[in-house]
Amino acid sequence: MLGPLPTVHRIVVTICALLAGVGLGALLPKLLPVTMLASTGAGIGFGIGAIAVVLLLHDPGHHDGHPQRLRVRR
């Protein structure tokens, strides 16, 4: 996990991870003795890249739920 990043850096990490996933997925059918199309490998690589983006940019300390109410004593 990379922690909290500015928006521009999050976009750059997302693009790089997706491109790397698609590129490696398209290259994989040429390297393995499995009959698979490069487009299928690219689709699988895109899915793996998307999962990598979620895992890299997920911030476990940040909750998107409803904010908790603060009780103020009077």
Q: Encode pLDDT of 3-41 as tens digits.
A: 677 788 888 888 888 888 888 888 887 887 777 787 788
In the DSSP assignment, the letter for residue 1 is -
With respect to residue 11, please indicate whether it lies within any of the assigned structural domains. Answer: yes
With respect to residue 50, please indicate whether it lies within any of the assigned structural domains. Answer: yes
Domain hosting 25: range is: 7-57
With respect to residue 74, please indicate whether it lies within any of the assigned structural domains. Answer: no
1 pLDDT more than 60: no
63 pLDDT more than 80: no
Pairwise CA distance, residues 39 & 36, whole Å: 8
Higher pLDDT, 48 or 6: 48
Q: In the chain, how many domains are there?
A: 1
Cβ contacts of residue 26 below 8 Å, gap of 6+?
A: 38, 39, 41, 42, 45
pLDDT category at 70 given cuts 50, 70, 90 is low
With respect to residue 37, please indicate whether it lies within any of the assigned structural domains. Answer: yes
Q: Under a CB-based contact definition with an 8 Å cutoff, are residues 41 and 1 in contact?
A: no
Average pLDDT, integer, range 51-70: 71
With respect to residue 13, please indicate whether it lies within any of the assigned structural domains. Answer: yes
With respect to residue 66, please indicate whether it lies within any of the assigned structural domains. Answer: no
With respect to residue 42, please indicate whether it lies within any of the assigned structural domains. Answer: yes
